[in-house]
Structure 1
């Protein structure tokens, strides 16, 4: 059973509403999302490119641009080293496109997820030397590649790092941390302590975008052409699950507009292949349709296919590549579901179900999907989860955490039995000897301060909202908060004792519950619930009895009332438009 909370942040909502010409409800929703600063509220409500920060304030960015201009002007060979996830693919594509546009002799390389692992390495550098590359520029990686980059410098290569990941450190015996960096010629990462750039939350493609802004300015390329690249940054920003505030909001809001009328041959083909060409593309389509297809090749084949699709100008080639991406994603989905089912079976049939931290070893899972499987298990049980698989060099895996459990810090306590690890509070990657898996499980569970209460899912409501207050104007006003995503979730409203008039199960797979509620002013409003219908019925029967539930399904007068957590929506179907609420949780 979940615990429900209501946000109650003190602020002068009337003053905010008056200052920005918005309702107090919108003002409260902004404050609930931590958007309190006047400039931040302004850029949130008016997310125009002109409100972005000065790129030259980012440490080493101007220097990197000057180096690149010099290398381009002198015809030096440049190689981009990207990463195999969506952010890495998009970052690589953006840099490749921009440098080509500026006249550079440039190519790219992306490590193989299984053979090379994450980021630039010695083998990649040696290949650069063999190919007479003069300058390496990394994107979405490189900040932690101290030894490989120092080796590249010893070999007289010019190296520019663009990254957004946390800065590596050495922990002293007294617990103090010393942040470290490589000898690269320029290191662009807003998270560096010395970097004065005001927004630290850009993804890898966002950092690259800022570099391109200055580079295009150097080469006198029109701003409109530069802004056009935001459609690609929007994909990476949503898929890398960074906070959709400040510059990220500006990039995604404007990028989505451009994506809906994109002229990129590869993207248009992928949009057709995934059957969304007649839909208005939203953050949902980026995160759950387009992004996974780009990601799937990096998981099961080569991420370079994703870049090939984006740079393709041939319709037939783009069609072939988009089908390959689509097929890889379907294969990835099947593999993921099989992995999730195996993991659930292990939990339910062992002592593990009583653990407060899950460490699950499934040797046959493909190592590229362990993170997805860990995420699904974490969602189902609300328990920090690490999923490990067998590789040539022992066990390798990924972890996903819950609020209140800093997975990276907990792994630091076990570093003596880990071969390699890294990450942040909510996610981590690690490798260890197979014989140490049980030891890791025991230590993480022995050391954890998580209580049974910490593992109870928490539902946080923005505010109470009587159903009779919901109308078209209210829903349209909420639309100004779009696009929704991390740090800007869809508003969650609550209503106590909502009267259920009737219910019926709908959908091709009979997995959607359509409810009809009666508001206090005797107005009917439809509700849609996409959750577990069996669980819903069980709770209704336990509280009201099967007779009342049968009456509800028959549309007969019944005594069923629910507390509901919901967000309102406008439903358009067969030419009809009506207000409905999406029921997220009930009790």
Structure 2
């Protein structure tokens, strides 16, 4: 059962509203997102690209730029090694375009999920040596590749790491011992001594910071950086970064440009998904466009997504966009099958008693393990790992809840794992099949999650009667966009609503339309998406209902009417 709680953060909402000419409700929403102080509120409401930090603040940036400048002048061969997810593809493309612009001799390699695995491996170093590569530049990987980068150094190569994952460490008697690869330069804002203020950047934004510094060094006009904003936005949303500070500004600016993008591949991907006449939001990136880009790295090769971004004519772009969209449809079917198998395993074994779920689906495609883990985590509100059978070992991905740092818990199980890496909220690993049960037991023995931690919470921003909603308030709420992780869509609530009418609509019977009246006599339309029959049965049996909701303006046949989108009910 969900626990409904009201955010109780305090401030003088009336004075904030007067100073910034916003409704006090909007001031409260901003405070609930931990934005305090005049400068920060002003940045939140009106921040622009000129407000993002200088790339030169990042540790090793001067070193990395100096190395690349020398390599460009020497015509040395540079190879970008990326990753097969949306952030890795965008990172690779950002570096490729930027380095070509400054005259570098550069190529790319995105590892194959099955054949190569994540990140740099020894055979990729050997291949680079055979291809007479002088410098390896990683993106969205590399921070944990100690032995592989050591091998590259022994072979005489220069290595620059650009990454955003957690800095590896091991626990010793004296505390944590940081483990860094022996690269010539490491760009990762999560390094403890890195002065860059934004620590929660995705890999593509770290790559963008490097290109920003290089453009400055090579006197490339600053306006040319604008083409990278939409790429940074796609990667930030797709890799589920917090939409705060610099990230929020880049996503806001990138989404503005995405509708009229000059990139043929992205334009065709938007068209084939029926979004050419829509306002493209973070939702569309996260749940429509992004999964298509991710699908190639899951079921085929991420080189297809990179080819889409590099497409030079509309015909090529249209074919690739169609292929990726079709792959995503296949991925959806496989995901649904895998999710049902995972639920069956939890419900019919003693897994259901675990606080941390470790689900082994040997026949599941390894590429969708992370998606399935996310779905299971949402269903049970428990940290979840989904493992699949790989060629030489089991592989898998995990998705976590706020109270559980997944990466830290994997460190405590490092002796059972072949390889691992990630963030507090998500991780990837490989493990010998014989160790899976030991891994499951260890995680649960170490787990300190309480029953309260495992109870899903619905955090209400403002208990607000529907009579307070106006079109102007809804337009002011739009100032807080883009919404996503770290800047969630506002949630309002009202109790004691009387149901005047309720009907299920839609071919799949997954939409309910209702007419509600509050105690003050205000009547308003509402819509609910989900198990519509169950919802209508519930509300029709009661004299009144409590709901959480989000207000919106419904445009239909030239009319604009206020309605609420119901999120939860009780």
TM-score range, shorter chain: over 0.9
Could you tell me how far apart the structure 2 residues matched to 1:185 and 1:413 are? 29
Partner residue, 1:362: 361
SS at match of 2:201: coil
Partner residue, 1:569: 552
Query: What is the RMSD computed on CA atoms of the aligned residues?
Result: 1.7
Partner residue, 2:342: 343
Question: Please, which moves more after superposition, 445-454 or 108-117?
Answer: 445-454
Q: How many residues get paired?
A: 570
Give the alignment's TM-score, normalised by structure 1.
0.94
Give the deviation of 1:404 after TM superposition.
1.8
Give the deviation of 1:433 after TM superposition.
2.4
Give the deviation of 1:191 after TM superposition.
1.0
Could you tell me how far apart the structure 2 residues matched to 1:202 and 1:129 are? 31
Partner residue, 2:561: 578
Could you tell me how far apart the structure 1 residues matched to 2:441 and 2:97 are? 49
Partner residue, 2:512: 513
Question: Please, which moves more after superposition, 425-434 or 97-106?
Answer: 425-434
Give the deviation of 1:412 after TM superposition.
3.5
* 1:267 equivalent in alignment to 2:266: yes
Note if contact 1:81-1:110 (Cα within 8 Å) is conserved in structure 2.
yes
1:417-566 matches, within 5 Å, as 417-537=416-536, 539-540=538-539, 548-549=540-541, 560-566=543-549
SS at match of 2:59: coil
1:206-221 matches, within 5 Å, as 206-221=205-220
Note if contact 1:58-1:190 (Cα within 8 Å) is conserved in structure 2.
yes
Give the deviation of 1:346 after TM superposition.
1.6
Could you tell me how far apart the structure 2 residues matched to 1:474 and 1:277 are? 28
Note if contact 1:297-1:328 (Cα within 8 Å) is conserved in structure 2.
yes
* 1:3 equivalent in alignment to 2:3: yes
* 1:172 equivalent in alignment to 2:204: no
Could you tell me how far apart the structure 1 residues matched to 2:444 and 2:531 are? 30
Give the alignment's TM-score, normalised by structure 2.
0.96
* 1:193 equivalent in alignment to 2:192: yes
Give the deviation of 1:218 after TM superposition.
2.0
Could you tell me how far apart the structure 2 residues matched to 1:480 and 1:167 are? 35
Structure 2 unpaired stretches of 5+: none
Give the deviation of 1:183 after TM superposition.
2.0
SS at match of 1:119: coil
* 1:398 equivalent in alignment to 2:397: yes
Could you tell me how far apart the structure 2 residues matched to 1:171 and 1:442 are? 20
Note if contact 1:85-1:303 (Cα within 8 Å) is conserved in structure 2.
yes
Could you tell me how far apart the structure 2 residues matched to 1:448 and 1:156 are? 45
Note if contact 2:496-2:518 (Cα within 8 Å) is conserved in structure 1.
no
Note if contact 1:47-1:253 (Cα within 8 Å) is conserved in structure 2.
no
Q: 1:183 to 1:431 in 2, by over 3 A?
A: closer
Give the deviation of 1:360 after TM superposition.
1.3
1:80-133 C-alpha deviation (Å, 9 max, x unpaired) = 111111011001001101111111111100111112111112211111111111
* 1:146 equivalent in alignment to 2:157: no
Note if contact 1:569-1:581 (Cα within 8 Å) is conserved in structure 2.
yes
Q: 1:149 to 1:227 in 2, by over 3 A?
A: same
Note if contact 2:503-2:536 (Cα within 8 Å) is conserved in structure 1.
no
Could you tell me how far apart the structure 2 residues matched to 1:223 and 1:515 are? 52
Q: 1:514 to 1:345 in 2, by over 3 A?
A: same
Give the deviation of 1:158 after TM superposition.
1.4
